[in-house]
Amino acid sequence: MKFFEWVVDGFKAAFDALFAWLSLIFESMKTFLIDLPLLVFDSIIDAVIAAFQAFSSMLDCCLAGSAGLNVAINAIPAASGVVYYIDRAGIVPALACLGAALTFRLFRKIVTLGHW
């Protein structure tokens, strides 16, 4: 009788361990499925932040270039008459149009994540 009880206790302990292991797997899967939307949302937010950081670095480069161009145009002596012709040629509105086009292009690339 002792041997039979020992075998039954062994099977009972094995099944208890198996069911505890299966319940642990079930709880882990449940926790993963609950956290999955948060992980996806976190990845999306990180991608948006990275896109804005890339855009801001491009914008800093453009702003530094325009400041350099402004300094170069201001360095032209006013008495030479070149400033008058630059003003009459419409370079300032042309550069504004180019800046607007570049801003639109970069914004469209960010919104579409690089796809056109």
- Structure tokens belonging to residue 17: 């361990």
> Which pLDDT score is estimated for 85?
76
All residues at 6 or more sequence positions from 58 whose CB lies less than 8 Å from its CB, including other chains:
106
> Which pLDDT score is estimated for 90?
76
> Which pLDDT score is estimated for 58?
56
> Which pLDDT score is estimated for 31?
92
To the question of pTM greater than 0.75 for the whole model, the response is: no
Nearest CA among 41, 73, 28, 55 for reference residue 113:
55
Helix (H), strand (E) at residue 43: helix 2-74
- Structure tokens belonging to residue 90: 């419409």
Q: Look at 3 and 30; give whichever has higher pLDDT.
A: 30
> How far lies 94's CA from each of 23, 56, 60, 77, 99, in Å?
69, 23, 20, 22, 9
> Which pLDDT score is estimated for 82?
73
